[in-house]
Structure 1
Amino acid sequence: MPHEAGLSFAASFAPALLDPARSTPDGVTGPNGKAAGRRYDVYRNNVTVSLIDALAAIYPAVQRITGADFFRAMARSHVRSNPPASPLLFEYGRDFPDFMARYEHAQAMPWLPDVARIERAWLDAYHAADALPLSPARLSAVTPNRLADLVFVPHPAARCLRSQYAAVTIFAANRDDAPVARIDASTPEDALITRPEFDVTVRRLPPGGAVFADRLISGRPLGEAASSALEASSEFDIAANIAGLIEAGAFTSLACGDQ
């Protein structure tokens, strides 16, 4: 088949795969030129099921929370309105949390999109590049007069997410098969996602910690990040938060902001 003809056939073949209301594309035939509507429907169903299965693998906590039937119905609706843009299945579904926020039948679970965002960040951290985390000794070697201008280089896997709900607790409680105790979902929680070595970790940040971590990960100097965190929470402990972020492997190296 010539290249141009192949592109034309693909352009007519693909759109109907995720839209059951569309008829079998012209040119799709079976043996001896017979109609292949049923064959195409089977293929169409297999494509949809594969994408739903990919979403279930990316968002296991969300599926456990909603139940398999609810999750697959929601995922099917997402698949039909949001076709994949990459051949890599683990890249699919980045907009699924935003879809959940709009999904009519999930409105009783307003915290669900943030749980999904943590799961997406977990997967991205898992696939992030390897890098040696910053040694605590490196920070202790910095002279006090240079601390305010210090810039922390983030680890490729480091991510910070904020939520108006108890998203970290809900996420952690639903990533395995253990019984789930009652959770007050109305308590705001912020997450730090890192992968200093081989295992991804999700930590709940203390008051002011998310502002501090976000500023540092964004490349802002230490003095500015600390001021922003103290504005967000008078309880913010600078030393404890720096130590916690370094222990979590959120950074790889240091630089001076005036360089």
Structure 2
Amino acid sequence: MPHDLPHARIEAAFHDALWGLDAPAGITAPDASEVAQRFKVYRNNVQHSLTRALAARFPVIEQLVGATFFTAMARAYIAQSPPQDPVMLRWGNSFAGFLDGFPPVAHLPFIGDVARLEYARGRACHAADAAPVAPDALAVAELDALRFILHPSVALFTSFFPAVQIWQAHQPGAARVPLLSGPDHALIARQPDFTVIVARIEPETFSVLAALLNGTPLGRAADNADPTPALTLLLRHGLIIDIDTGVPA
């Protein structure tokens, strides 16, 4: 590239060329006739690597549309939203929104929410570590005042569509069962053994978990629903990492 151009312009020209047809101006090679072919190889490698990285993050989306279509769709997304961060696990946060507005998949109105679920799983997988409380941590006299600190991986997911069921149906070995109409709700988190769970839950359990996640005391979180399923889920999967009893130390 010409050395007298500002670095930002050089980067912009190089980036644009990755998604165009021509090599950027100023590229050289020992044989000038090979410039276009060499850059084409480089361009294909970049596009292929990013496409496969996206497919690894959104495997059910690839299943839903097929590998060939996913490749074409991914390249349209990558051209629009290339990685801006060297930490690749943070890339893809806008993919669900892209799918929401991508006309060729408009006949799959749930696809954006399935992508949101898959992205949330990735975030849970890479969340910070934290040890769960002891099994007898809830053996206190006054439960209503308890506030729970949940594992950093805990996230709640909701969709107007049966997105959780669609995701579950595309897991290895999944049984073929009829899908129930939406909405769907789920708890997404990483267990102490590093297994990422997607637990489909009832709306009432979702409501209790949402309140607990926001720091609401157990008594208030349970005003409109039985908290037992939510607490059972959290304890079974080791997702409570601390408890505030409300009593000054």
Same fold at TM > 0.5: yes
Note the C-alpha offset of 1:207. 2.5
> Which residue is 1:143 aligned to?
141
* Partner Cα separation in structure 1 for residue 91 and residue 132 of structure 2: 29
Note the C-alpha offset of 1:78. 0.6
SS at match of 1:100: helix
SS at match of 1:138: coil
Aligned-partner residue type, residue 189 of structure 2: T
> Which residue is 1:252 aligned to?
241
Structure 1 unaligned runs (5+)? 231-235
Q: How does 1:1-259 map to 2 (within 5 A)?
A: 7-8=7-8, 10-20=10-20, 23-31=22-30, 36-140=35-139, 142-144=140-142, 147-176=143-172, 180-184=176-180, 186-197=181-192, 198-227=194-223, 230=224, 236-256=225-245
Note the C-alpha offset of 1:239. 2.1
Aligned pair in 2 of structure 1 residues 256, 4: CA closer, same or farther (>3 Å)? farther
* Partner Cα separation in structure 2 for residue 177 and residue 49 of structure 1: 28
Note the C-alpha offset of 1:4. 9.4
1:149-172 Cα shifts (integer Å, max 9, x gaps): 321111011111111121111111
Q: Quick check: 1:213–1:245 contact (8 Å CA) kept in 2?
A: no
* Partner Cα separation in structure 2 for residue 65 and residue 8 of structure 1: 39
1:76-115 Cα shifts (integer Å, max 9, x gaps): 1111111111123332211111111111111111111111
* Partner Cα separation in structure 1 for residue 4 and residue 147 of structure 2: 52
Aligned-partner residue type, residue 193 of structure 1: I
* Partner Cα separation in structure 1 for residue 217 and residue 17 of structure 2: 50
Aligned pair in 2 of structure 1 residues 257, 67: CA closer, same or farther (>3 Å)? farther
SS at match of 2:39: helix
SS at match of 2:199: strand
TM-align CA RMSD: 2.6
Structure 2 unaligned runs (5+)? none
Aligned-partner residue type, residue 24 of structure 1: A
1:15-66 Cα shifts (integer Å, max 9, x gaps): 2244215x42222111155561222222122111111111100111111122
TM-score (norm 1): 0.84
TM-score (norm 2): 0.87
